[in-house]
Amino acid sequence: MLQRIADLRAEIEALTAADAAEVEALRIKYLSKKGLVSALMNDFRSVPAEEKRAVGQAINELKNFATDRINGLRDCLCCGAAEACGLDLTRTAAPVRLGTRHPLSLVREEIIAIFRRLGFNIAEGPEIEDDWHVFSSLNFADDHPARDMQDTFFISRMPDVLLRTHTSSVQSRVMEHTEPPIRIICPGRVYRNEAISARAHCFFHQVEALYVDKNVTFADLLQTLQYFAAEMFGGDTKIRLRPSYFPFTEPSAEMDISCNICGGKGCSFCKGTGWVEILGCGMVDPNVLEACGIDSKTYTGFALGMGVERIANLKYRVNDLRLFSENDVRFLDEFAGTH
């Protein structure tokens, strides 16, 4: 019985039809009540009980196969290639659904492009770091709170292996083995031991910029910041610097831009101040240059660092950080066509 089924299957597989009448004739021959496939069903009664299961399954499969094959022949008549396949070449193609770029990638690429136009090159460093590159070389005092377990994910202690808490670590890695002039932009992921909420996450992204050469001054930093703000947020954007403190820069500042939502008039986003903070910056502390083997009497430099999520917040008004890592396609779809 199984052999008969296999033979019939081979026969059906080889079928061809030149027109609709031939297809109909085949349907009657194989699939009608008195057709060859149905005949098998009649013989099924006489199959021994222990074979019934396998034979029943084979008959069902053959029936499905014959139905598909004969329908396929009918479809094929439309494209005039009846014997070729079961394809209808006249059907319109199903649209291909394109993926979208992640908003953080969009923003990172935009930041990089702006700095590239100023002659900065990309530098990258490891996410798993040592204490020297993340803290000590950057002039962090031994008792600085950022070194605390509460802020930093340690992989091991003595020697300290940790997840970098900022991309400033790439500064010291590059300075260690590069003669100035150095003009680099360092994008990357960073980690901090924070409870996850709308405003904080245990990982996020930063872009760091560093320029070290003879005679680099605060005026160079200011020009760079102004250029960046205008390119990123539009020519009308104003910037302001507030004095701040970072161990690796002296003097240090934080930069605000005029709120790009209310245009500086004051709204709920900027808490009525008209300004929003976007980055930290300053002149590289001579201690950092020396720690990385660069003569601080000959060279000076500026550095700046910003959060990619923060910029994406401002550009796309996304105010819950978790959305960036949840991979919800409804959120990601909103960036379709943005580049």
Closest CB to ligand DAH among 168 and 237?
168
Is residue 280 a contact residue for ligand DAH (CB under 6 A)? yes
Q: How many residues in the shown chain lie near ligand DAH by CB under 6 A?
A: 11
3-state secondary structure of 224: helix
CA gap 312, 307 in Å, rounded: 9
The one segment of 38-46, 80-88, 227-235, 277-285 that binds ligand DAH by CB under 6 A: 277-285
DSSP H or E stretch at residue 233: helix 218-233
3-state secondary structure of 13: helix
- Nearest CA among 161, 172, 170 for reference residue 124: 170
Is residue 168 a contact residue for ligand DAH (CB under 6 A)? yes
Residue with tokens 């760091």: 208
Is residue 301 a contact residue for ligand DAH (CB under 6 A)? no
Is residue 123 a contact residue for ligand DAH (CB under 6 A)? no
User: CA separation (Å) from 308 to 100, 271, 278?
Assistant: 18, 21, 10
Is residue 115 a contact residue for ligand DAH (CB under 6 A)? no
Closest CB to ligand DAH among 8 and 107?
107
- With CB under 6 A as the contact rule, the residue among 58, 304, 308, 311 that binds ligand DAH is 304
Closest CB to ligand DAH among 251 and 266?
251
Spatial strand order of the sheet with 275-284 comes to 121-122, 182-191, 203-213, 300-307, 275-284, 249-258, 239-246
Is residue 187 a contact residue for ligand DAH (CB under 6 A)? no
CA gap 211, 287 in Å, rounded: 16
Is residue 246 a contact residue for ligand DAH (CB under 6 A)? yes
Contact yes or no for 205/102 (Cβ under 8 A): no
Closest CB to ligand DAH among 264 and 305?
305
Is residue 224 a contact residue for ligand DAH (CB under 6 A)? no
**Shortest Cβ 238–ligand DAH spacing (Å):** 20
- With CB under 6 A as the contact rule, the residue among 292, 303, 308, 314 that binds ligand DAH is 303
Is residue 180 a contact residue for ligand DAH (CB under 6 A)? no
Closest CB to ligand DAH among 30 and 246?
246
User: Residue 2's CB: how many other CB atoms inside 10 A?
Assistant: 12
Angle, to 10 degrees, between the axis of helix 2-13 and the axis of helix 36-44?
170
**Shortest Cβ 225–ligand DAH spacing (Å):** 11
Asked if omega into 48 is within 30° of 0 (cis), the reply is: no
Instruction: List the structure tokens of 202.
Output: 């245990």
Closest CB to ligand DAH among 191 and 246?
246
Name the site residues for ligand DAH (rule: CB under 6 A). Answer: 166, 168, 208, 246, 249, 280-282, 303-305
